[in-house]
Structure 1
Amino acid sequence: MKKEFWFVIITYVIMQLSGGLAVDIIAKITVSAGAELTNELKTLIGAYWIVFSFIIALIFVLFFMRNEMRMKDMRNQTTIPVSILWGFGGIFLAMFAQIIAGLLEQKMGIKQNSQNTEQILKLITQFPIVMLVTSIVGPILEEIIFRKIIFGSLYKRLNFYLSALISSVIFGIAHFEPEHILLYSAMGFTFAYLYIKTNRILVPIFAHVTMNTLVVIVQLNSEKYLDSLDKAQSFIGGFL
């Protein structure tokens, strides 16, 4: 794997692990400045750190990937009109994959509510700016890491199915909900298929961004969701 890819992965891991430490440090600085550290203030600090850390991580990732992005194999790329069609079609493919995986999980006796999704939606209701991460920044980072880097590197040595399986399972594990590994893996398979079908990372990025945005909008405007957060059925696949 290229050294630039390792820089990207390390950046992503540091960003994911920085939350607790950063919030504690900022909280201590706030207290030393004379402010009262309430639960509301700590939640506020956490929300804004999520936005800040994800944006900074994206800037670093794009910097590390700048040369890679310039090296395009135009011969294997689908045309722009076809890529746009695959991008929109990919939204429905990802949703369909969620439905099938969800039905299989139900058959296996796995509860369909996702704590990850519920926590994200609760945070967005308090701090709408977090939607910038769940709908845009998060999906871009995940597609670069899990599809372009991990899947792309595996695909050079293995066939599509094995490469997609390994990268999709890693994608699922990264969401820290092992009980829903099947659902997250199904989405990972879909995005990997879009990437290999078009040879354009922008296609799965577009599908991922749009899917997450639709999930957030539907859930936040659903009376069923507002009545009971623990009944959320759709999953957000672009935020950890």
Structure 2
Amino acid sequence: MGKFKRRFKSFLLIVAFLFINVVIDAAAGAGTVILIVKLKGDLADIKDTVYGLLAAQIVKFVILYIYINIKNRKSAEPFIKDEKIKNPLLISGIGVGVAGFGLLFTNCIVAAFKDSEVVMDAIDSLEKVLAADTIWGQAVVLFVTIIGAPIVEELLFRGFLFEKLTKYVSTKSCIILTAIVFAYYHFNIVQTANTFFIGLVLAYVYYKTRSIKASILVHMTNNAIAMVPIFDQGLSAIGIAIYLIFLITGIYSLRTLRQADKEYLTGRTA
């Protein structure tokens, strides 16, 4: 297959991937709003948005589960690599580092563009999406953020998309492309650069460990830390100290992962 043809097919794959995800998100969101309106008898509140996210995650997970099982039955090798991880603390350390980068980066953006309506509106919209005024709603927010998003997004981006793209582009290009698509999917002036960086790390972790469990764990760790308000201390001395400790932990863990061989990561013996 020629280089141009491979690139064109990878482009079509990415476009189709994004289109299907947007359609599912829109349909799940609209369906959830209609259901809430029928149950409540009035217009759905902005705080009900999280239920649409949950519905979309459930739909995507079911579709992925069916697709992956069909692919696995047709091949001796699993479609998405899922080897057991022997060193979960090492993988979690990478998630800590990613969270530290995200907290530092976001606070720097806020400080640099605090007078920008566009930036502040973006931050406000993120807060509203994850807002909840009931215990049940807060539980759903935590589930969607810490469990649902890491599992579904990793199966989608580092699983399905990564494995599909490897047929058409190099591993390096695959890591970069999946990170770009991941950032575009989370399009937000505050989130985009951060999610691109996270996407690079997650794709590398998946490639290095050959385990979707590893990238899910990194993603879960990052999101869990992001949901704990005490860690976000702005650009105060305490805040910067926290972020740097997180970053050092992540860099050390990532370097250890880079130097480790497959047997060390999965516990397999030659």
Q: For the superposition of Structure 1 and Structure 2, which TM-score range results when normalised by the shorter chain?
A: 0.5 to 0.7
The structural deviation recorded for 1:131 is 1.5
Superposed CA deviations along residues 97-142 of structure 1, whole A, max 9, x for unmatched, are: 43675588589x5568634542244237771122211111112111
The structural deviation recorded for 1:172 is 0.8
> What is the aligned-residue RMSD (CA, Å)?
4.0
Could you tell me which of 65, 88, 95 is aligned with 2:92?
A: 88
Please show how residues 38-187 of structure 1 align to structure 2 within 5 Å.
42-43=45-46, 45-68=48-71, 72=77, 80-82=85-87, 84-98=88-102, 102=106, 109=112, 114-115=123-124, 117-123=126-132, 127-128=137-138, 129-187=140-198
Q: Which ranges of structure 1 fall in alignment gaps of 5 or more residues? A: 226-233, 235-240
Relative distance call for 1:143 and 1:124 in structure 2 (3 A) is farther
Relative distance call for 1:89 and 1:118 in structure 2 (3 A) is same
Superposed CA deviations along residues 22-54 of structure 1, whole A, max 9, x for unmatched, are: 2453355347xxx3x15xx53465443432332
* Residues 178-187 or 151-160, more deviating: 151-160
Retained in 1: the 8 A contact 2:84–2:211?
no
* Residues 48-57 or 180-189, more deviating: 48-57
Amino acid across the alignment from 1:199: R
| Matched position secondary structure for 1:81 | coil
Please show how residues 179-218 of structure 1 align to structure 2 within 5 Å.
179-216=190-227, 218=228
Select the structure of larger CA radius of gyration: 2
Structure 2 equivalent of residue 17 of structure 1: 26
* Residues 185-194 or 18-27, more deviating: 18-27
The structural deviation recorded for 1:174 is 0.8
Retained in 2: the 8 A contact 1:8–1:61?
no
CA distance in 1 between partners of 2:93 and 2:233 (Å)? 28
* Residues 167-176 or 60-69, more deviating: 60-69
The structural deviation recorded for 1:211 is 1.6
Relative distance call for 1:178 and 1:159 in structure 2 (3 A) is farther
CA distance in 2 between partners of 1:148 and 1:30 (Å)? 37
Q: So what's the TM-score if we normalise by structure 1?
A: 0.68
Q: So what's the TM-score if we normalise by structure 2?
A: 0.61
* Residues 152-161 or 180-189, more deviating: 152-161
The structural deviation recorded for 1:58 is 1.4
CA distance in 1 between partners of 2:232 and 2:96 (Å)? 23
Aligned pair count?
213
Report 1 or 2 for greater relative contact order, CA contacts < 8 Å, sequence distance ≥ 6.
2
Q: Which ranges of structure 2 fall in alignment gaps of 5 or more residues? A: 1-8, 235-242, 244-270
Retained in 2: the 8 A contact 1:164–1:189?
yes
Retained in 2: the 8 A contact 1:7–1:64?
no
The structural deviation recorded for 1:179 is 5.0
CA distance in 1 between partners of 2:170 and 2:104 (Å)? 24
Retained in 2: the 8 A contact 1:8–1:60?
no
CA distance in 1 between partners of 2:52 and 2:110 (Å)? 35
Relative distance call for 1:162 and 1:135 in structure 2 (3 A) is same
Relative distance call for 1:106 and 1:164 in structure 2 (3 A) is farther
